[in-house]
Amino acid sequence: MAIHVILQPMEADITDAHEHSPVFTLDRVTVRRGGALLLDAVSCRIAGGACTALVGPSGAGKSTLLRLLNRLEEPGSGTVRFHGRPLTGADVLALRRRVQLLSQQPVLLTTHIADDLRVGRPDLDDRRAAGLLGRVGLSPAMLDRPTAGLSGGEAQRVCLARALALDPEVLLLDEPTSALDAASARAVEHTVRDLVAAGLAVVLVSHNSPQARRVADQVLVLDGGRLADSGPVDRISYLKEGT
């Protein structure tokens, strides 16, 4: 699939359609690892109250950009701001409670679902824990179930509920449905849309163009570490050309 890369650094403003101030602002952010250039002078703003998809070919820099947003990656140059303040001045643990990352493979940390939901919130009572399961499309009756034997889709939604227990402002999702069957993937997608409708900001890395069209409001297209295109989901030619 051909992507026409804009050769001069561009700034993508993807906040207009939602009238929300940006949660993140990247200003000419460059990331190098060893001799490889992973991100090259990327400037963009990511809106609150919306789902922003990061798309592009493998190795384009999508996961690197995602990891910048909770300081799992640090820029070599340029600035990443959260609510207008540079991330370099933020307490890492406090930031990661506000900006939760879900990885491609669900990782359950305890032997029972209720205990998993309390990993970051030991004061979480059963009523709220059951409510979190309902919020991600699982039966509250599952609260007392062991984590062993859960399907991939169930495990991913338990991880999502565990993240929501911390009342985050932003969810970072790195290919969260790539290992799931179609029904489980759609369930996670519906949950994401419900969370965005409730005001949460979501940043989603996806290689799945139909999924990005279904879930995202706004899109950043990366190619070779550079910002190639950006805008509302229905205006991005990369998604129209994608399978």
Encode the chain (243 residues) as per-residue pLDDT tens digits: 434 333 334 445 544 444 568 999 999 999 999 889 999 999 999 999 999 999 999 999 999 999 999 999 999 999 999 999 999 888 999 999 999 999 888 999 999 999 999 999 999 999 999 999 998 989 999 999 999 999 988 999 999 999 999 999 999 999 988 888 888 888 889 999 999 999 999 999 998 899 999 999 999 999 999 999 999 999 998 887 655
CA-CA-CA-CA torsion sign (235, 238, 241, 243): negative
Q: Which domains can be identified in the chain, with CATH numbers?
A: 11-241 (3.40.50.300)
Extract the tokens encoding 167.
């009342």
41 and 2 in contact (C-beta within 8 Å)?
no
Q: Which amino acid is at 217?
A: D
Selection from 78, 80, 39 nearest residue 62 by Cα: 39
Give me the DSSP letters along 92-134: HHHHHHHEEEE-SS----SSBHHHHHTSS-TT--HHHHHHHHH
| Closest alpha carbon to 70 in 79, 85, 82, 58 | 82
